[in-house]
Amino acid sequence: MAFRLPSNLAVGRQYQVGSLGDVEVLESSLPPASRLLVGLVFERRYEGFEADCERAEQELRKIEGLRTWPELDGFVTPDPDGEPIAWVSYVSSPTWWAWIAGILGGIFLLPIVAILPFWIIEKLFPGLTEALMAFMTMGLVAMIALPMVKSLRPSEGRGG
């Protein structure tokens, strides 16, 4: 889990934050024109992760006044090592995190919300999600097999 900094830069200070709100508080306490790098860590790198990062990049580019680091050409970078992290880098001043978090929340929230019902069901009824998946798989197999079985039956109109 490492962001590859441009060779002319080094980490000045590193902060560990627990929530998106903590980033906004931290950003407001930093000097103007500070470079911020925020890692959005997901449980896993889901299908469509890179496309969501690209979509987030396009949306952040629409914010007038928001600036990238001079050494980088973008705001959102999927982790180059394949980790489930979207790195968000920008130059603060004014405090931008609330705007950025709102945009990123709309883009990256769907994969999070899509998993949430399964997680809740699994916590309340352990093993139920596996049973539901087995029933859905059986239904899918039946939908595929039924037309095949019907096509193998001899038709009544043929002479024999």
In a domain, 48, yes or no: yes
Separation of alpha carbons 50 and 83, rounded Å: 12
**60 band by pLDDT with thresholds 50, 70 and 90:** very high
In a domain, 85, yes or no: yes
In a domain, 89, yes or no: yes
Choose between 21 and 62: higher pLDDT: 62
In a domain, 145, yes or no: no
Model pTM score: 0.61
Residue 23 corresponds to which tokens in the numbers above? Answer: 């980033």
Report the pLDDT averaged over residues 101-130. 65
In a domain, 2, yes or no: no
Instruction: Let me know how many helices (H) and strands (E) the chain has, helices first.
Output: 4, 3
In a domain, 141, yes or no: no
Separation of alpha carbons 24 and 14, rounded Å: 15
- Tens digits of residue pLDDT in 140-152: 787 788 777 777 7
How many structural domains compose the chain? 1
In a domain, 54, yes or no: yes
Dihedral Cα 30, 64, 90, 38, nearest 10 deg: 90
In a domain, 6, yes or no: no
- The per-residue pLDDT for 68 is 92
Domain span at residue 95 reads: 20-125
- Tens digits of residue pLDDT in 70-115: 888 899 999 988 888 889 999 987 778 777 877 777 777 655 545 5
Report the pLDDT averaged over residues 134-139. 79
- Tens digits of residue pLDDT in 1-57: 567 777 777 777 777 776 667 777 888 888 888 888 888 888 888 888 999 999 999
